[in-house]
Amino acid sequence: MNRSMQGRIELRQVTKCFGAVTAVDGISLDIRGGEFFSLLGPSGCGKTTTLRLIAGFERPTTGEILLEGVSVTGIPPHRRNVNTVFQSYALFPHLTVEENIGFGLKMKRLPKSEINLQVEDVLSLVKLTGLGERKPSELSGGQQQRVALARALVNHPAILLLDEPLAALDLKLRKQMQIELKVLQRQVGITFVYVTHDQGEALSLSDRIAVMQDGRVLQIGTPSDLYEHPNCHFVADFIGQSNFFPATVAGHREGGLTLRLTGAESLIEVPAECGYHPGQEVILAVRPERLQISTNPPPPPFNGLYGMVSEVMYLGTLLQYTVSVSDSLQVLVHQPNLGSDSTPPIPRASKVYITWLPEHGILLESMTS
């Protein structure tokens, strides 16, 4: 096989309807071999359906899916070189851990000795050596999760599909499994398609992410692409936190625009492509951690806002200020917690200046347009 095709997944204008409901609406994806690719979105956005289309549990209503360069329309799941880790794990309750993991190899009619050998290997890969005789019901959630992973990996699929595999685990175990998954994916080098609604998980694990909403892909990019350059309000809101300021274009300047924020006096600069005209309504997004907060006035002309601290929250790694600029304009500011000696928290009701660099502003189209 052509090396560039190994583990590659292409979706071409794939649509899936259930009766009157369109779960997936004309999606096109090109997932490279060996990539850790995440489908990220809120529940009901079509990410699991997309995964099930790739696995073969659902047939596309229209469009085409190619696995390793070959169209798989009409090929049932058991003849696809793809394995799935299910959200519920779907371990066979009547079989032992070994039998669960060996199931795929048994279906391929491998000799018993060969199956045992491979099962042992993969058990040690997922750190479950010695638990092979147990039934799934005798394992903890984290261990069951590893069995599900081992059961898929032992078949050496070209592509591994993971449907919210860590959703049922508690926070600490989830963090640990995230690291193990990432290490494992590098180790085995196969394509992972990972479905999650947890943006932090997607950011920390993925090479690339497709953000989905209402059956459509809104943006595809690396984690930093999506965080630094979201292309719409939804992506900026779903990935990380953002302040959204409704604004009007006031004028052009070199390499960008000046904006007048609704509910504030000052003019704000933002870099922008051409194609905006004065008077146009836009949205300016700024990440809370990109904002500087200070009781001392910065030298004019400054790029920022003036307001009053209405709430201070201590969040451990950071301090979160809610600053009231006007009745209609609240701003969230994150300040790293560098130790109380160096940066004593600004008390409530203080008058403060919030500033940011023009390049930290993200210009988005107004939702009404």
**Half-sphere exposure (CA, 13 Å, Cβ side) for 319?**
20
One of 1, 18, 57, 308 touching another protein (CB under 8 A): 57
Nearer to another protein, 92 or 141 (CB): 92
- In the region spanning residues 78 to 117, those forming contacts with another protein, defined by CB under 8 A, are 78-79, 82-84, 86, 88, 90-94, 103-104, 107-108
- Applying CB under 8 A, does 151 fall inside the site for another protein? yes
SS3 280: coil
Q: How far is the CB of 196 from another protein (least distance, A)?
A: 18
Q: How many residues of this chain interact with another protein, rule: CB under 8 A?
A: 24
Q: How far is the CB of 80 from another protein (least distance, A)?
A: 8
SS3 245: strand
Nearest to 235 by CA among 192, 202, 206, 266: 202
Helices 141-153 and 171-188, packing angle to 10 deg: 20
Residue 194 makes CB contacts below 8 A (sequence gap 6+) with 36, 37, 38, 39, 162, 165, 202, 205, 206
Pick the piece of the chain touching another protein (CB under 8 A) from 73-81, 232-240, 256-264, 336-344. 73-81
How many helices (H) and strands (E) in the chain? 8, 20
**What sign results for the dihedral spanned by CA atoms 51, 56, 62, 65?**
positive
Q: How far is the CB of 86 from another protein (least distance, A)?
A: 5
Q: How far is the CB of 188 from another protein (least distance, A)?
A: 17
Q: How far is the CB of 144 from another protein (least distance, A)?
A: 13
Nearer to another protein, 159 or 264 (CB): 159
Nearest to 196 by CA among 85, 323, 313: 85
Nearer to another protein, 93 or 339 (CB): 93
The contact set with another protein (CB under 8 A) reads: 55-57, 76-79, 82-84, 86, 88, 90-94, 103-104, 107-108, 151-152, 155
